[in-house]
Amino acid sequence: MRKQQKVNPAAASGFTLIELLVVSVIMVMAYALAAPMVSSGAGGAELKASARQLAAGLRKARSEAVARRHETALTLDVAGRRFELTGDSRVYRLPKDIEIDLFTAQSELVNENAGSIRFYPDGGSTGGRITVSARERKYAVDVNWLTGQVAILD
């Protein structure tokens, strides 16, 4: 013969107050750790997109110089956060929350806030580096002076 046990219905279902508090504390801690990672992701994506936009502009300037057999330059206005290409009427704007540094040949400096990287018909260039940064993250867009190759460095 089997003995039946009485089960208290209040004790059998639901969670205790301690269990709910422990889960709540764990969720708050997880959110506190995850929130900074999510917010910095958007800035990182915007920064990478800016580096890619500059690299695309430099590659376009190089291909124009080779195809049309005349010098072409990308002129970067560091203070205004914009750049333009020789022979192209468009002005390309970069986000305001990123910092830009330009390292180029002395002869290519327009003023203290602007300078160019020039490409020649043989594919070579004056060379240089454009660094875009935000917070602790930065990307360098390098131009090889001999070959005119453009590379994005992390």
On the question of pLDDT at 153 being above 60, the answer is yes
Q: What pLDDT sits at residue 43?
A: 74
When pLDDT is averaged across residues 94-114 and rounded to a whole number, the result is: 93
- Note the pLDDT tens digit of each residue in 3-33: 666 656 555 577 888 988 888 989 888 888 8
* Element (DSSP H or E) covering residue 151: strand 150-153
Contact 81, 118 (CB under 8 A): no
Q: What pLDDT sits at residue 39?
A: 53
Distances (CA, A) of 137 to 29, 50, 98, 122, 152: 25, 13, 10, 34, 13
Q: What is the CATH superfamily name and number for domain 43-153? A: minor pseudopilin epsh domain (3.55.40.10)
Q: What pLDDT sits at residue 99?
A: 93
- Note the pLDDT tens digit of each residue in 41-100: 447 889 999 999 999 999 999 999 999 999 999 999 999 999 999 989 999 999 998 999
Q: What pLDDT sits at residue 149?
A: 95
Q: Measured on CA atoms in the order 97, 47, 81, 115, is the torsion positive or negative?
A: positive
Q: What pLDDT sits at residue 62?
A: 96
When pLDDT is averaged across residues 108-112 and rounded to a whole number, the result is: 92
Domain segments of the chain as ranges: 43-153
Contact 151, 58 (CB under 8 A): no
Q: What pLDDT sits at residue 125?
A: 96
